[in-house]
Chain A
Amino acid sequence: MALLNLRADGRTAKPRPSTRSLSPRRHFGAIAFVAPALLIYLAFSIWPAFNTLYYSMLDWDGLNAAEWVGFENYAKVFTEPELFNSILHSLVLVFFFAVLPIGLGLLLAGLLMGSGTRGLSAFRVIYFLPQVIPLVAVGIAWRWLYAENGPLNEFLETIGLGALAAPWLAGTDTALIALGLVGTWGMSGLCMMLFVSGAQKIDSSLYEAAAMDGAGPIRRFVSVTLPGLRGEISIAAVITTIAALSSFDLVYVTTSGGPESATTVPGLLVYRLAFTYERIGHAAALAIVLTVLILIFVSVIRRLTKEKA
Chain B
Amino acid sequence: MSTELTGKPVKLKLSYASVQPITPLAEGFTKLHPNVTFDLIETPFADYQTSLKLAMSSNDSPDIVQYSPAPMRAIVPAGLVLPLDDYAKAYGWRDQVSPSLLGILTSNKDATQYGTGNLYALPGAVQMVGVFYNKAVTEAAGITDEPKSLAEFEDDLATVKAKGVTPLAVPALATGGFQLWGALSNVMADPKVFSSWVYGEPGATLLNDPGFEKAAATVKKWADSGYMAKGVSAVADPDAITELTSGQRGYFLSGNWNAKELSEKLGDDLGFFPLPGETADQPALATGSGFPYSISAKSKNKDVAAAFLNYIISEKAAQGVYDGGFIPIQPIDGDPDKVKGEFVGAYKAVVDGGGITPFANWATSSIIDPLTAGIQGVISGNKTPKAFIQSLQADWESKR
- Contact in complex: B230, A148 (CB < 8 Å): yes
A56 within 8 A of B: no
- Contact in complex: B173, A276 (CB < 8 Å): no
* B199 CB to nearest chain A CB (Å): 19
A59-67, A92-100, A121-129, A210-218: which lies at the interface: A59-67
* B326 CB to nearest chain A CB (Å): 26
A277 within 8 A of B: yes
**With the chains together, A168 CA to B229 CA distance in Å?**
13
From the candidates B49, B57, B234, name the one contacting A167 in the complex (CB within 8 A): B234
B92 within 8 A of A: no
Chain A, range 114-148, C-beta contacts under 8 Å to B: 143, 146-148
* A167 CB to nearest chain B CB (Å): 2
* B375 CB to nearest chain A CB (Å): 9
Q: Which residues of the partner chain B approach A64 to less than 8 Å between Cβ atoms?
A: 74, 77-78
- Contact in complex: B373, A275 (CB < 8 Å): no
- Contact in complex: A172, B365 (CB < 8 Å): no
- 0/1 interface trace, chain B 227-266, chain A, CB 8 Å (1 if under): 0011111111001000000001000000000000000000
**With the chains together, A195 CA to B339 CA distance in Å?**
60
A/B pair count, beta carbons within 8 Å: 96
From the candidates A63, A169, A261, A279, name the one contacting B234 in the complex (CB within 8 A): A169
A183-191, A222-230, A251-259: which lies at the interface: A251-259
Q: Which residues of the partner chain B approach A261 to less than 8 Å between Cβ atoms?
A: 369, 373
A-B contact pairs, 20 of them (CB 8 A): A61-B73, A61-B74, A63-B53, A64-B78, A143-B234, A143-B236, A148-B230, A148-B234, A167-B229, A167-B230, A255-B234, A257-B373, A259-B376, A260-B376, A275-B49, A275-B50, A276-B49, A276-B70, A276-B368, A279-B366
Q: Which residues of A contact B (CB under 8 A)?
A: 61-64, 143, 146-149, 166-172, 175, 255-261, 272, 275-279
* B111 CB to nearest chain A CB (Å): 10
List the 8 closest A-B pairs by CB distance, nearest first. Answer: A167-B231, A169-B234, A259-B233, A170-B231, A275-B50, A148-B231, A170-B234, A170-B233
Chain B interface bracket (under 10, 10 to 19, 20 to 34, 35 or more): 35 or more
* A10 CB to nearest chain B CB (Å): 29
Q: Which residues of the partner chain B approach A255 to less than 8 Å between Cβ atoms?
A: 173, 234
- Contact in complex: A260, B377 (CB < 8 Å): yes
**With the chains together, A245 CA to B78 CA distance in Å?**
36
B107 within 8 A of A: no
Chain B, range 206-236, C-beta contacts under 8 Å to A: 229-236
What is the chain A residue whose CB lies nearest that of B232?
A170
**With the chains together, A55 CA to B369 CA distance in Å?**
23
- Contact in complex: B75, A276 (CB < 8 Å): no
What is the chain B residue whose CB lies nearest that of A175?
B234
- Contact in complex: B234, A146 (CB < 8 Å): yes
From the candidates B74, B80, B383, name the one contacting A62 in the complex (CB within 8 A): B74
- Contact in complex: A260, B373 (CB < 8 Å): yes
B174 within 8 A of A: yes
